[in-house]
């Protein structure tokens, strides 16, 4: 598979580290490519699944809010359980 360079914006401290160390830059490029590939595949699959959906944007926003609240409550319960 070929490669093509693109420009991305990073926080200054990360950019400085990557500019100073070619090995670190190479590792970051590889990691970023792998993570982006996985994320984009998930997004494409989710888009395909949602294609025929009758959900409105408000429905999706409400579902998002409920899922995040549930995750937050589960994490808080785990944290509180460890500190007892």
pLDDT per residue over 32-82, tens digit each? Answer: 999 999 999 998 988 888 788 888 889 888 988 999 999 999 988 888 886
Angle of helix 22-50 relative to helix 12-20, nearest 10 degrees? 130
pLDDT at 16: 95
pTM for the predicted model, two decimal places: 0.53
Distance from C-alpha of 79 to C-alpha of 62, rounded to nearest angstrom: 26
| Cβ-based neighbour number of residue 18 at 10 Å | 16
């Amino acid at each position: 598979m070929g490669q093509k360079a693109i420009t991305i914006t990073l926080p200054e401290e990360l950019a400085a580290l990557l500019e100073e160390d070619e090995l670190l830059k190479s590792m970051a490029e590889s990691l970023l490519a792998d993570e982006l590939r996985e994320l984009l595949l998930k997004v494409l699959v989710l888009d395909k699944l949602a294609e025929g959906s009758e959900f409105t944007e408000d429905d999706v926003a409400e579902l998002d809010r409920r899922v995040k609240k549930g995750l937050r409550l589960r994490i808080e319960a785990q944290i509180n359980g460890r500190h007892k």
